[in-house]
Amino acid sequence: METPMTTLQFWYDFSSPWTYLASTQVEAVADRAGVTLEWRPFLLGGLFKAIGTPDVPILSMPEPKRAWMARDLHMWADHLGVPFRFASRFPMRTITALRLALAAGDRIAPLSKDLFRALWVDDGDLNDEATLTAVLERHGFDPQHMFERTRDPAIKQQLIANGEQAVALGIFGAPTFIVSADDGDHLFWGVDRLMFVEKALAGWRPKLA
């Protein structure tokens, strides 16, 4: 079967533990398919506000479901063989970290993965300048310059534009994956849908009727 795919988009916010798990796998999926992976940071809270979803959906769930979701996260981490610790500061404001990711340019992937680890493995505070500085320095960035970039109107507008595009694409949560192909964009939501993403990258299209 001829593969119509062009790119794989990974839409993410550091605030989501499921998206951290996805961040540990998505590059391998793209590599196996031989496709370009685009990292698309966006403000999940802004999306929720735009589409009428509670700011922190898990907190609005009944207690038995919240307990199950917490257990499910640990099961997925164990299944994937990756470290995970639920962030003690959840929910976390991530707007500065998201702007840093955008300011990283072609180093967005390694910086984003390390920011995810800072929150969901090391239980760090993504609003703490010292925490962010340590991550930036590990990747050879000048922290002062990068913090200045987060105040750049162009970076701020790019994050806003990403959020607007997410709404336009029909994104409703994170992680979201979009297979952009000759026959259009195909949206998948959730770390547990990566198997479908990989099939779609190989040309599979589900029979929906």
* Ramachandran sector of residue 34 (left: φ over 0; alpha: ψ -120 to 50; beta: rest): left
User: Quick one: pLDDT at residue 7?
Assistant: 95
Interhelix angle 153-169/95-103, nearest 10 degrees: 100
Give the alpha-carbon dihedral of 53, 29, 25, 170, to 10 degrees. -10
User: Quick one: pLDDT at residue 56?
Assistant: 83
User: Which of the residues in the chain have pLDDT under 70?
Assistant: 1-5, 209
Distances (CA, A) of 171 to 34, 62, 113, 178: 25, 24, 21, 9
CA dihedral sign, ordered 93, 94, 99, 104: positive
pTM value surpassing 0.85: yes
H or E stretch at 186: strand 184-189
User: Quick one: pLDDT at residue 209?
Assistant: 65
Radius of gyration of the chain (CA): 17
Domains of the chain: 5-201 (3.40.30.10)
